[in-house]
Structure 1
Amino acid sequence: MDNMSLFVTLTSRNVMIKDIFPEQIRAARALINWTREDLAKASGVTVRTLARIERSENAPREATLTALCAALEGAGVEFIPENGSGPGVRMARRLDRK
């Protein structure tokens, strides 16, 4: 991962500040099998803006990141902070595995 992190204040469950990396957004989409178009529709962010964020071309506004994170978290993704092992994403709920 490059050194660019995206800062966002989230007000879901608990108020917290997270570093969200562009790679985490891409990984979150892949985890739930969403295209950029799917995330754009769910978040209200344009596909072009999302592509630029994912390519680390610009630092997004706080409102944009809040919308992206809310959409992804609403779809069941949990962002894992960098805690010595590196940042990541996972499903917030256990999947029923049969």
Structure 2
Amino acid sequence: MARIALGLGVRELAVLAKVAPGTVSRFEAGEELKERTVEALKTALTEAGVIFIDQNGNGPGVRLRDRQP
């Protein structure tokens, strides 16, 4: 959801996170990855403008950071 909200493709996110495109696909499919890999993906998404929201009764989520004019 976060990748799509940013308009990033699998390969683009992979480059930002410095992982293989297949790793992004496995993550999105719900496969278990090493913690450092998940952190690399999360960091790349955060730096690209995603804010991760803690669970609020409906589960965790994401939103985009306000863009500066």
Determine which structure has the larger strand proportion and give its number.
Answer: 1
Determine which structure has the larger helix proportion and give its number.
Answer: 2
Unpaired stretches in structure 2, ≥5 consecutive residues: none
Q: Normalized against structure 1, the TM-score is what?
A: 0.64
Once the 2 structures are TM-superposed, how far is the Cα of residue 95 of structure 1 from its aligned partner? 3.2
Q: Deviations over 1:62-94 (max 9, x none)?
A: 1101100110000110111212122111012x2
Structure number with bigger Rg: 1
SS of 2:23's equivalent? helix
Between Structure 1 and Structure 2, how many residues are aligned?
A: 69
Q: Displaced runs of 4+ in structure 1, greater than 3 A?
A: none
Aligned-residue CA RMSD in angstroms?
1.5
Residue 21 (structure 2) pairs with residue 47 (structure 1)? yes
Q: Give the Cα–Cα distance (whole angstroms) in 2 for the partners of residues 55 and 66 of structure 1.
A: 17
Q: Normalized against structure 2, the TM-score is what?
A: 0.89
